[in-house]
Every structure is written in C-alpha cells, then in structure tokens.
Amino acid sequence: MQPTLRRMLSEPAFRVVLLTASDRLDDPLSWVSSSDLADPSPFLLPDQFVLTTGLQFQAVSGQGDYDDYVARLAASGVVGIGFGTEVITTGTPPGLLEACRVQGMALVEVPYDVPFVAIITWAAREIAREAAARDEWALSAQQAISLAAVSGGGVSAAMRETARQLEGVVLLYDADGEFVEQHPAARIADRVLDAAQADVRALLARGRRAGASQTVGGREVVVQTLGRGDRPLGAVALVLDAPLDAPGRAVMMTGTSLVEVGRERDAVDSAALGALGAHAVRLLSRGESTLAASLLTQATRAGAADIGAVDPSSSVVVLVCTGTTATVDEVRRRLQRTARTATHTRLAAILDGELVAVASPDGEQWLRRAAEGAVAGLSAPHPIDRFEVAVQEARAALAKARAAAERDGEGAVIGFADTSAGRLLDVLADSGLPAVARLRLAEVRSTEEGEESVRLAALWFEHGCRWEAAAEAAGMHRHSLRTRVERLAARLDLDLESFPARAELWALLSLS
C-alpha cells in the first residue's frame, strides 16, 4: 500500500497534526523531501510531500510572500507541506497557515523531536514496499494470463484474464479495424468506443507496429496493434479507470502479446480452413455437392471455425471478386464476420487470387453488402448441380463490373441479370475463347484481302445473313460478296450451308 498523508497522520510515532483541510489526503505520495529554499518548486516532482523548518520565511515581508510560496508548491503538484516547529520559529507561522487554508494545501505540524529523516525513511520504505508488491502482482498477473491463454481458451481467455487483472475492459479489432469481441461485456460510453476505434484504424493505416493512449470521458484508452506492418492481425484496446503504471504496462504487454500469438495461430488455422473451403468450391465445380457438404460438416464437427455449409438440394447464387490481395481479403473477412447471419448455404474461398463466394438465393444481399466498394460479379440463382454455370455468369458480370469501375473510378457489384442482352457471349468472352478465336483468324488477317473478307463476313451477319442487303451495304454485287465470304469460310474449313458452321464463324468474328 502506497504512503499517503492520511497514513502518515495515523503513525503514532510521528505525532504530527493536520492544521488545514485538503482533498489530497489519500493521494499516493511519490516522495518526501526536505527544503528550506524560498522556491524549491524547480526541484520537486508531482505528488511530493515537502518538509521545511521555515528558514526561508525569516525574510518575508507580508502575507503575499506566504501566498506566493504555497502557490508555487501547489503548481508543482505538491500534496502537502510539513512544518517543523521550534527550529527557527515557535509554532507554525500564521501567514503560512492562512495561505495553505486559502489554497486548500494540507499543512502538517511536525513536533521538534520528530526528525525529518524519520518521516522520509518511512515514506521511502513504504514506496519500496509498494513497488515490490506491484512487481510481485505483475508477475502473478502475467502468469495468470499465460495460463489462461495456454489452457485452451486462446485469444478470448487471454483477453478475459487481462481485463480482470487490470480491472478494465479489453476490446479486440480485426485487421480492417472492425470490432471483433469485448471482455467483459460491460457498458462503455459511445464516445469512448468511437475514440478507441478511431485510434485503432489510424494506427493500422500507418502500416507498422504502433501504440497510442488518450483520456476520453474520464477513461484511459490504450491501443496496441497486433502483427507486423505488412501483415496486420488487428489491434487491442484497453479501457481503464486510471493510467497504467510500469507494472501495469508490463501486464498489458503480456496480455497483448498472448492475444497476438493467438491471432497468429488463428491466421494459420484460417489458412488451413481456407484450403478446405477452396477444395469444397472445386468439388462444387465438379458437380460433387454432396461430397462438398460432407467435407464442410466434418470439418465443423472436428472443432474448426464456422468454415461454411452447403445444402446439396438447394439453389445458389455465386459472387466472384477480383482485385488486389488486400481487397479480396477484406471482402472475405467481411463475409466471415457476418457468416452467422447468412442463410444455410454459405461458403467463401480464394482460388488463384479470386474470391468465390456462395449463398442460398435469399443470401444475395449478404454477398452484395460484403463486396461493397470492391469489383465483383453476381450470378443469377441456379440449382447447385449447375454451379459451374453460375460461376461463369458471375465472371461475365464481373467483366461488366470491371468496365464500370474503370469508367467511374470506383468499385461496382453487378449482377448477371443486369448485364446486356448478349449474355451468352459475355460468358464466352470471359472464358478464354477470344484468344482461340484470334488464333484461328490470325492467318486470314495477315493480308489486306483477308482482313477485308473478315469485315465483309461481319457485315453479312449484321444483315441477318441476307446476301442482297449485305451487298448493298457493302456497295458491291451480291455474287462478289458471297464469293469473298465463302472463300473465307473455306479457309477456316467451314461450310456455310450448315447452320453450326455459320454459328462458329459468327462466334469467331464476335469474340476476336
């Protein structure tokens, strides 16, 4: 227990007497010092108790000198003044008594036969005893937090024990600065929560390990980021009733470090779960929805986090999102944060840098909200055995979303139903077939004559394959047009009398 004026007054050996009232009798003393300087304030630390024999008051000319002396000590944060009687003066000077009374400074009268060194030694001993007790508490608290973290409770257990030991509230935020959990579930003023989250996001935006503290609404808010700058894991915020001392900071750092270790482990687990999710998406692509559902169910029963779920009898909508790694990861984390509110079928996985997310049709808004601000395409609903069709539709919509994002300079989430009427061609255009079409026509287009034949064939299709109308638009005889187009088809080994051949030529021209 730290020394205070009240404790000193209760020590029978000192026989000191309190002469003036003060509201700082229970404030911990940082030290007790002795000085007869007229102005000892430059040499004092806050929360000290100053002993004096009054030598400096021999030259005072009036009450104003006493007032100035006490005012200087009060401005330095001094808790109280101890006056040793019968050394220089008899009794305590009335001017000093009046100055302390007016300014609310505690004035203690110390008898002649009580050495100042006895009071100083008592305070030093009590301060050292308190420091040893705090160090012992800090060691015990660190051990308790460590035991909680390694006993199977992980991050949540480390947070709970840290909050208990520091008698505060611990808040956890993810790498996007979004709230994850709180221990204990105490009510915290909104302005305190807002300040904590603002600090978290500002520190995470720096891209390096950092910490901050501030006082908000009478509460101390201490924030520390987790993880490296290039791979942030989030941040921890502590809400306390008083600033932390050195042992308290040591306990806080132990708790924060163990939360960080837990988050690192969670990140490794998340990567493993991500691989399972990716495998489930591949199974759906192969039409093996029952096997995908079984895989996810077994993983959840084995104690994994809520990786997802698939109903083999349901219909699904599919969202495909691409972009920077940070963007794709952010959308995935949003989906994870809101997974419990999603419908039965829900799954999100990253394959080759591309996020593929699946939900039941009534979960479409869940997908849209998670992808807000990103560039993504969303399929129409399909039976789950047509999963690959849904993926192709989502990619076709994604192509439109990319174009919209480039045009408008901001993210876009476009549904397949919102794309143009040429939907099948959009799907083909995003499937890699344009490269095949360009390769097929490369030799033909290597000459001016061949390039002109390609233009005439496209004109023919634009006019519904009617020779007369196309020839008129081209400004040439219909026989000449037909000869040029048929010669082009022959070079591509296509017979224009066959509808499939005409369709293939149209596709080649459209996709190239």
Q: What is the pLDDT of residue 184?
A: 92
Mean pLDDT of 7-19: 93
- Least confident range of 6-20, 105-119, 194-208, 409-423: 409-423
Q: What is the pLDDT of residue 282?
A: 83
pLDDT (tens digit per residue) in 32-79: 999 999 999 999 999 999 999 999 998 887 888 999 999 999 999 999
State the helix-helix crossing angle for 433-442 and 499-511, rounded to 10 degrees. 100
How many angstroms separate the CA atoms of 132 and 94, rounded?
A: 41
Give CA 464 to chain center in angstroms: 57
Answer for the pair 238, 252: CB distance below 8 angstroms, yes or no: yes
Phi then psi dihedrals of residue 26, to 5 deg: -105, 5
Average pLDDT over the chain, rounded to whole? 85
CA proximity to 166, closest of 253, 258, 88 = 253
Question: Does residue 85 have a pLDDT over 60?
Answer: yes
Question: Does residue 492 have a pLDDT over 50?
Answer: yes
pLDDT (tens digit per residue) in 190-205: 999 999 999 999 999 8
Q: What is the pLDDT of residue 105?
A: 96
Q: What is the pLDDT of residue 346?
A: 79
Mean pLDDT of 460-464: 84
How many angstroms separate the CA atoms of 73 and 311, rounded?
A: 75
Q: Please report, rounded to a whole number, the percentage of residues in the chain having pLDDT higher than 90.
A: 37
pLDDT (tens digit per residue) in 342-372: 556 678 888 777 888 888 888 888 888 888 8
Question: Does residue 278 have a pLDDT over 80?
Answer: no
Q: What is the pLDDT of residue 267?
A: 64
Mean pLDDT of 321-336: 76
Long-range CB pairs of 385-389, under 8 A, 24+ apart, other chains included: 385/287, 385/289, 387/284, 387/285, 387/287, 387/289, 387/316, 387/318, 387/358, 388/285, 388/287
Structure tokens at 240: 């306390």
Q: What is the pLDDT of residue 431?
A: 56
How many angstroms separate the CA atoms of 306 and 270, rounded?
A: 10
Q: What is the pLDDT of residue 343?
A: 57
Share in percent of the chain as helix, strand, coil (round to 5): 55, 15, 30
How many angstroms separate the CA atoms of 208 and 504, rounded?
A: 56
pTM over 0.75: no
Q: What is the pLDDT of residue 474?
A: 86
Q: What is the pLDDT of residue 14?
A: 93
How many angstroms separate the CA atoms of 401 and 415, rounded?
A: 9
How many angstroms separate the CA atoms of 8 and 13, rounded?
A: 10
How many angstroms separate the CA atoms of 485 and 460, rounded?
A: 8
Question: Does residue 384 have a pLDDT over 90?
Answer: no
Q: What is the pLDDT of residue 287?
A: 81
Question: Does residue 476 have a pLDDT over 60?
Answer: yes
Question: Does residue 421 have a pLDDT over 50?
Answer: no
pLDDT (tens digit per residue) in 223-276: 999 987 667 888 999 999 999 989 999 999 999 988 888 877 766 666 666 677
Question: Does residue 490 have a pLDDT over 80?
Answer: yes
Q: What is the pLDDT of residue 448?
A: 86
By the 10 Å C-beta count (0-12 exposed, 13-18 middle, 19+ buried), 270 is classed as middle
309 or 163, greater pLDDT: 163
Amino acid at 437: A
Question: Does residue 308 have a pLDDT over 60?
Answer: yes
CA proximity to 25, closest of 52, 54, 3, 53 = 3
DSSP state of 188: -
Question: Does residue 507 have a pLDDT over 60?
Answer: yes
Mean pLDDT of 365-388: 87
Long-range CB pairs of 392-397, under 8 A, 24+ apart, other chains included: 392/427, 392/430, 392/431, 393/318, 393/423, 393/427, 394/318, 394/319, 394/320, 394/356, 395/320, 395/427, 395/430, 395/431, 396/423, 396/426, 396/427, 396/429, 396/430, 397/320, 397/426
Name the pLDDT band for 423 (thresholds 50, 70, 90): low
4 or 296, greater pLDDT: 4
Q: How many residues in total does the chain contain?
A: 512
By the 10 Å C-beta count (0-12 exposed, 13-18 middle, 19+ buried), 459 is classed as middle
pLDDT (tens digit per residue) in 95-154: 999 999 999 999 999 999 999 999 999 999 999 998 899 899 999 999 999 998 888 778
